[in-house]
Amino acid sequence: MASNPKGYAGWFEGRARQVVIRQLLEKAAPLPDPQPVHAKLPLKLCVQLIKRWRDIHYGEGPLAPISIVLTTLVAHAYRGEQSTVKAMELILTGISSMIRSSSGRLVVLNPANGDEDLSERWEANPAAYRAFTSGIEEFEARWKALFQLRGVDKVARALEQLFGEEVAKRVVEKQTRDIEAARARNELAMKKGSRIVTGLATGTAISIPRNTFYGEKE
């Protein structure tokens, strides 16, 4: 079947950079230097996250949706959010909306070649499509619930269920390092009347002092 991999790559890159380009045009600012590899755009990070969730949720069985379908759906649902957390929330909501509004199974066409149905495997395997729709529904619910949790242990368990033990461990370790670094810079605070850690102290947040396990300076 005819395809257009280079055209698809160009389409995806355009989706990933849509807001960055729009902001540059609005501000009439010069183009920024190329980003380093680790500074990936939110869309690319969301694609990585949803593929990782797919691997954990479905394993290597025949029900797992293929990468090109997930990538295309995520890119279609992306609206340019610069927060990866918010982007993932709206992407999952968008995919759920596509599923509900489709007549029959969801058809995912190649945006670089409208004659290619990337999701044709679902035609021959309805069970895989049902597993995909229920999986997305569950993922969306778990993602929203994740940000209502309080306590490192609860968050770590929720992340482990979504993305696996290794990823959850790395996230918690990085969060711990970031909190300690913020505390060292006197940039850590807690919202009044709660145990929610936030950024700089304000009228509604109390500054958290640095650790001085070695004793106070004279």
pTM for this structure?
0.70
In this predicted structure, the answer to whether residue 194 has a pLDDT above a threshold of 80 is no
Averaged confidence pLDDT in the chain? 80
**What span, in angstroms and rounded, lies between the C-alpha atoms of 174 and 194?**
23
Residue 60's pLDDT is what? 86
Are the C-beta atoms of residues 210 and 189 closer than 8 Å to each other? no
Q: What is the pLDDT of residues 31-53, one digit of tens each?
A: 445 444 356 789 999 999 999 99
Percentage of the chain lying above the pLDDT 70 cut: 73
Mean pLDDT, range 66-76, rounded to an integer = 96
**pLDDT-derived band at 26, boundaries 50, 70, 90:** low
- Residues 89-141 have pLDDT tens digits of 999 999 999 999 998 999 999 998 889 999 999 999 999 999 999 999 999 99
Rounded percentage of the chain residues whose pLDDT exceeds 90: 45
Confidence band (pLDDT; 50, 70, 90) for 211? low
Q: Is the confidence at residue 214, as pLDDT, over 50?
A: no
Quick one: CA dihedral 9, 15, 19, 21, positive or negative? positive
Region 16-41 average pLDDT? 54
Q: What SS3 string covers 141-158?
A: HHHHHHCCCCCHHHHHHH
Reference 88, options 152, 162, 6, 184; nearest CA is 162
122 CB contacts (<8 Å, ≥6 apart)? 105, 106, 128, 129, 132
